[in-house]
Structure 1
Amino acid sequence: MERSQPNYRLIYHDIISIKCPGKKEECSPILNKKEISILDVIKLNMIIFGINDKETQIFNQKHRSYDESTILEILDYQAKNNLNNTQLANHFKLSRNTVAKWKKHFKNKHLHPVKAN
């Protein structure tokens, strides 16, 4: 049985309407997309809630999960911006080992060539 993805559009629409209506305009380009990716959810969180303290960031990072399309989007970002694994890991707050594992696992699936470290 395949798990369905939460309706992020509805969730964030409600959060913005109730907690911070002033950020509606800033969030609307993301919320108006046909599909909202995990990276979009991370961007929305940053817009709405801002940067948390270091302890909260560490906790949140440990509980993040990425679907295949998001991983491929991250790997394409690396290729388009000519980043090495360390730079990509720092940008997305990942471990270098995670990036290396993803590159090995998805090496034949993404569209852009990946720059070797």
Structure 2
Amino acid sequence: MIKSGVNYRLIFEDILEKKYPEKKEKCQRILAKDSLSVLDIIELNKKIFGPMDKETDRFDQSHRSYNQSSILQILDFQKLHNLSNSQVARHFKLSRHTVAKWKKRYQV
């Protein structure tokens, strides 16, 4: 879960209220959680703003950072769905080398 001074729930609720009220119901399940993970924030971003162009997506991806909790969630997702490193990397838009490095570091 995200431990920072930023209240992402409030930010997304304001965005939905002011600019995208028609998408509020689609995001309610995630916003109802006690705490939002990095993966929840990524999912909310996709649901609200839709697909990005390649240049924006590449820029955003290069500025993402993952905490240990998020990394473990991604690795659990991989196990749960029985995916290869390449498949997980494509799904979360990561490098397959990053996934391999995480698996080695956290010995999953």
The TM-score, its normalising length taken from structure 1, stands at 0.86
Q: Which residue of 2 aligns with 1:76?
A: 76
Q: Which whole-Å deviations, capped at 9, do the CAs of 1:22-66 have from their partners, x for residues lacking one?
A: 111001100000111100000000011000111111111000111
The 3-state SS of whatever aligns with 1:104 is helix
Q: Cα RMSD between the aligned structures?
A: 1.1
Measure the CA separation in 2 of the matches of 1:11 and 1:26: 16
Residue aligning to 1:59: 59
Instruction: Give the C-alpha shift of residue 67 in structure 1.
Output: 1.1
Output the CA distance in 2 between the equivalents of 1:24 and 1:80. Answer: 29
| Whole-Å separation in 2 of the counterparts to 1:37 and 1:5 | 14
Name the structure 1 match of 2:47: 47
What stretches of structure 1 of length at least 5 have no aligned partner? Answer: 108-113
In structure 2, what is the Cα distance between the partners aligned to 1:84 and 1:5?
35
Determine whether 1:23 maps to 2:26.
Answer: no
TM-score with structure 2 setting the length: 0.93
Amino acid at match of 1:68: Q
Partner of 2:105: 105
Which has the larger helix fraction? 2
Uncovered stretches (5+) of structure 2, i.e. residues with no partner: none
Change (3 A) 1:98 1:41: same
Q: 1:27 to 1:66 in 2, by over 3 A?
A: same
SS at match of 1:105: helix
**How many aligned positions are there?**
106
Identity of aligned residues (%): 58
